Amino acid sequence: MPSTEPRGPKQIYKALIWSLKGLHASWTFEASFRLEVYLTLVLFPLGLWLGRGAVEKAMLVGCLVLVLAAEILNSAIEAVVDKTTPEFHELAGRAKDMGSAAVFLLMLNVVLCWGLILWQHATT
C-alpha cells in the first residue's frame, strides 16, 4: 500500500539513510563494486580534466556513474534471486545473467565514450 504520508524533510532524510546503507552494503559485500569504485576514483578527475566543455565532461564522468548504478542493481537482483531460490533454476540464472549483461553493456559504453572523445582530441 502506498504511503499517504506527505513527502518532506523527514522522508528525504530516511531515503538518504537507506541509500547510504545500500552503498555501504555494496562496498562491503561486492568486490566488483569496489573495483569499479577504484577505477572511478581514477577516471572521474581525469575525465573532468580531459573533457573540453561541459558536455564532454558530463559524458566522460556520467558513464562511470552509470556503471556503478548498474552494478548495484545487478547485486540487488542477485541477492533477491539467491534468497528466493538457493538451488539452480533456469529463470534465476537468466535473471542474474541479464543483470551482468547490463553492467557489461554500460562498461562498453564507457569504452565507447572515452574512446570517441579521446580519439577526437587526438585528431584535432
For residue 98, the domain's CATH number is: 1.10.287.3610
Identify the three-state secondary structure at position 52. Answer: coil
| Cα–Cα distance for residue pair 96/32, rounded to 1 Å | 14
Segment 69-89 mean pLDDT? 93
- Indicate the number of domains in the chain: 1
Is the residue at 72 inside a domain? yes
Is the residue at 26 inside a domain? no
Is the residue at 21 inside a domain? no
Whether residue 112 has pLDDT greater than 90: yes
Catalytic-residue membership of 71? yes
User: Which among 5, 36, 71, 90 is annotated as catalytic?
Assistant: 71
Is the residue at 35 inside a domain? yes
Half-sphere exposure of 115 (CA within 13 A, CB side): 6
Q: Residue 6 — pLDDT band, cuts 50, 70, 90?
A: confident
Q: Are the C-beta atoms of 60 and 50 separated by less than 8 Å? A: yes
Is the residue at 18 inside a domain? no
Residue 1 confidence (pLDDT) = 56
Mean pLDDT rounded to a whole number for the chain: 94
| Cα–Cα distance for residue pair 31/27, rounded to 1 Å | 7
Is the residue at 24 inside a domain? no
Which pTM was predicted? 0.89
